[in-house]
Amino acid sequence: MTVRVRLAPSPTGNLHIGTARTAVFNWLFARHHGGTFVLRVEDTDLERSRPEYTQNILDGLTWLGLTWDEGPFFQSERLDLYRQAIQTLLDRGLAYRCYTSSEELDQLRERQKARNEAPRYDNRHRDLTAEQEQAFIAEGRQPVIRFKIDDRRVITWTDLVRGTVTWKASDLGGDMVIARAASGDAIGQPLYNLAVVVDDIDMKISHVIRGEDHIANTAKQILLYEALGATVPEFAHTPLILNSEGRKLSKRDGVTSVAEFQAMGYTAEALANYMTLLGWSSPDSTQEVFTLTEAAKVFGFERVNRAGAKFDWDKLNWLNGQYLHRMPSDRLLDLLMPRWAAAGYEFDPQGDRPWLEPLAALLATAMIRLDEAATVAKLFFETPLTYDEAATAHLQQEGIAPILEATIAAIAATEGELDSEAAGAIVKDVVKTSGAKKGLVMRTLRAALMGAMQGPEMVPSWLVLHRRGVDGDRLTAALALAQG
């Protein structure tokens, strides 16, 4: 089986999580079958399409690792192809010019509403005589082009997710507009369903994988494939993403664009992993943390749910934490530095790597999302350090100054690199010379070096501060506090 799939986003907004999830399923399916993933930008809606949205979509897909093999193709550059297909349908008597005015359509709709009927075009211009057409043209009316829909048809396909789907042609709203109004023999702007089918035929798409909100379009599109004499592809309609109330996730739910998730500090790997789980589960249900490539090995539509997929923030956060914890510290550091710079922290991105990298390693388990980067790292950058109330109170207790003095002396006497072994030896030495308990020494060092009684592990934090060259200053400042 030659698999060719496509993602066909409309650049009328930033890359939406729903489109990204559709991209994930397309990508997984293509990679699973060694197929081709085509990217096609559906920018025929000239009023709402914007180049910056196209850029945002391409950037978002790239960031997520959803690489495409062909494209991006732009529908706006392929209008001739659609017009040729429309001309073919006209020539075959499968489409016609319709002169019904918008006032007439409104009246029709009103009457249908009054009778509690679903709105539909009544096909009134399907069989106009040449004289009738001439009369409308003489009135200056500009026709749209409609594709004939045989109301007696029942459209059926075997959906890879939903099984047998049946749609009555009589529920499709009457003959369908495939080109906007234009004067004379011209063919106006081709419309969505037509353009999609022409492209999917031309691009030899074998499987159309998209959200279930497109099911009614699929019924219409199958009729177009038939009319154009093309093989109908396979369809897989994926479940919608729902909010916590079980409704379709929308702008009102706050965060919906991939760029927003990125800004919040989700990693590309975690978000891609999470989207894979939105409606699909691995054959090994215990396995929830995987890369796209790992998922592609076992991906298939038989494990995609029909029911909507609830967006679960807790799960996404958990996954993100997993990825941050497991990330090599040099990569994590690259993600942290821009956020530290944005917070105004001063460092040399190259020269300071010897202490920044262990800092990244230390903080990996302290964050769920990267937007916590500045908060969790604050104490390491602060000069001078601020001592919170608890740390100040601790340092001002009786008997603290000798501990600090002994520490300062022990550090000065340490030869070579300060590593965790050397730090352990210093603590032991301080316990001996000051006569204080080890617990008190450790709490004192935490208060003195970190300005708080809670936070990341003390010894690794100390080593980072030592490499930065500020542990001595901090101990001296703490000693001043301790001596009142």
CA–CA distance, 253 with 406 (Å, rounded to integer):
56
Is residue 57 a contact point for ligand GLU (CB under 6 A)?
Answer: no
- Which residues lie below 8 Å from residue 104, measured CB to CB, with a gap of 6+? none
Q: Which part of the chain contacts ligand GLU (CB under 6 A), choosing from 8-16, 77-85, 141-149, 331-339? A: 8-16
Residue 44 CA to residue 77 CA, distance in Å, equals 9
Closer by beta carbon to ligand GLU, 18 or else 188: 18
Q: Is residue 9 close enough to count as binding ligand GLU by CB under 6 A?
A: yes
Q: Which tokens sit at 34?
A: 């060694």
Contacts with ligand GLU, 154-193, as mask; x by CB under 6 A: ----------------------------------------
Q: Least CB distance from residue 250 to ligand GLU, whole Å? A: 14
Give me the phi and psi of 141, to 5 degrees please: -75, 145
> Does 42 engage in binding with ligand GLU (CB under 6 A)?
yes
- Candidate ranges 5-13, 150-158, 245-253, 406-414; the one touching ligand GLU (CB under 6 A): 5-13
> Is 41 or 362 the residue whose CB approaches ligand GLU more closely?
41
Pairing of strands 95-98, 70-74: unpaired
Q: Residue 39 Cβ, how far from ligand GLU at the closest point, in Å?
A: 11
**d(Cα 219, Cα 454) in Å, to the nearest integer?**
61
* Nearest-approach distance from CB 40 to ligand GLU, in angstroms: 8
CA distance 277 to 21: 9
Strand order, beta sheet including 4-7: 4-7, 36-41, 70-74
If one asks whether residue 203 binds ligand GLU (CB under 6 A), the answer comes out as: no
Does 30 bind ligand GLU (CB under 6 A)? Our answer is no
Measured in degrees and rounded to the nearest 5, phi and psi for residue 451 equal 70, 10
Which two tokens mark 460?
Answer: 């690794």
Stretch that binds ligand GLU, among 2-10, 65-73, 416-424, 475-483 (CB under 6 A): 2-10
- Under a CB-based contact definition with an 8 Å cutoff, are residues 79 and 42 in contact? no
- 10 interacts with ligand GLU by CB under 6 A: yes
Total residues contacting ligand GLU (rule CB under 6 A)?
Answer: 7
- In the bound state with ligand GLU, the residue whose beta carbon lies nearer, of 7 and 481, is 7
**Which of 42, 175 has the CB closer to ligand GLU?**
42
Q: SS3 for 55? A: helix
From residue 279 to residue 318, what is the string marking binding to ligand GLU with x (rule CB under 6 A)?
----------------------------------------
Of 7-15, 351-359, 370-378, 428-436, the window that binds ligand GLU (rule: CB under 6 A) is 7-15
Residue 101, phi then psi, degrees to nearest 5: -80, 165
Nearer to ligand GLU among residue 217 and residue 282 (C-beta) = 217
* CA angle centred on 66, ends 60 and 70, rounded to 5°: 105
Which among 113, 168, 248, 251 is annotated as catalytic? 251
Going from the C-alpha of 89 to that of each of 17, 83, 191, 404, the distances in angstroms are: 36, 10, 14, 89
3-class SS at 39?
A: strand
**Which CB sits closer to ligand GLU, 21 or 394?**
21
Q: Are 259 and 285 in contact (CB under 8 A)?
A: no
Q: Which residues 204-243 are close enough to bind ligand GLU by CB under 6 A? A: 210, 214
Indicate whether 269 belongs to the interface with ligand GLU (CB under 6 A): no
Cβ of residue 270: shortest distance to ligand GLU, in angstroms? Answer: 25
CB 10, min distance to ligand GLU, A = 4
Cβ atoms 70, 209 nearer than 8 A: no
Please report how close the Cβ of residue 196 comes to ligand GLU at its closest, in angstroms.
5
Residue 251 is among the residues annotated as catalytic for this protein = yes
Confirm or reject binding of residue 26 to ligand GLU (CB under 6 A). Answer: no
* Continuous segment of H or E residues that includes residue 144: strand 144-147
Based on its alpha-carbon atoms, the radius of gyration of the chain, rounded to whole angstroms, reads: 32
In the bound complex, what is the minimum distance in angstroms from residue 85's beta carbon to ligand GLU? 16
User: Does residue 196 belong to the site contacting ligand GLU (CB under 6 A)?
Assistant: yes
User: Whole-number minimum distance, CB 262 to ligand GLU, in Å?
Assistant: 20
Instruction: Give the number of other CB atoms < 10 A from CB of residue 343.
Output: 13
What is the C-alpha to C-alpha distance for residues 231 and 227, in angstroms, rounded to an integer? 10
Structure tokens at 228: 């154009």
Summarize as ranges the residues that interact with ligand GLU (CB under 6 A).
8-10, 42, 196, 210, 214
Residues noted as catalytic: 251
